[in-house]
Amino acid sequence: MLGFGAWSALAWARYGHVDPGRHPRDELLDRFLPDPEVDEYHQVEVRAPAAITLAAAKETDLQGAPLVKAIFWVRAVPALLRGEPFRPQGSRGIVAETLGLGWGVLAEEPDREIVIGAYTQPWREQVIFHSLPPEEFAAFDEPGYGKIAWTLGAEPLGPNRSRLVTRTRAVATDPQASRRFRRYWAPMSAGIILIRYAGLPLIRNEAERRAVWM
């Protein structure tokens, strides 16, 4: 509990203070969210070619990791308390699952990177994700929303090695939405980050398994 409180305090303090030099540049993501209030970056090296790594990242069901499954269950508790039935997620890959929730593909570089985005109000009890055409995403500024974009990428490190990268950026469309998003992000980001830490090894293992059977 103390650890969660410390993380929430840190996330609150860091919100809106993004160092553009802290992480490697991502020109594809920069087209859509160049000045974020949140910028989370995670990576792991994989003994597989970049194309195989990205395919595994897109297709792996992250709920194969017990920690991820537990986090999704905890997120469902408020709905259960409201009397809504628990509907476990299917065994789809993360990209298919996300697109099914209303997100949209903003850009894709085959075998290298995919960028997915939506605008939403994550602080509400029932969160709805809205996609936008890629050419409209960067300029969208309707008050009362947060814009979120995240990536899956595979950077070649050699013929049989790559770096799997996932990045999440967010920005609010007006000051009031920024305050609401910050109150949401400070406690909830812990679960989001844990999903990344638990999911990356799962994807790495799947990519390396596929590489063996090439």
Given a cut of 70, is residue 2 above it in pLDDT?
A: no
Segment 89-117, tens digit of pLDDT: 555 788 998 999 999 999 999 999 999 99
- Tell me which CATH code domain 2-17+24-212 carries: 3.30.530
Segment 11-36, tens digit of pLDDT: 899 999 999 889 999 999 999 999 99
Picking from 191, 107, 180, 113, the residue whose alpha carbon sits closest to that of residue 143 is 180
Segment 30-80, tens digit of pLDDT: 999 999 999 999 999 999 999 999 999 999 887 665 545 544 444 443 443
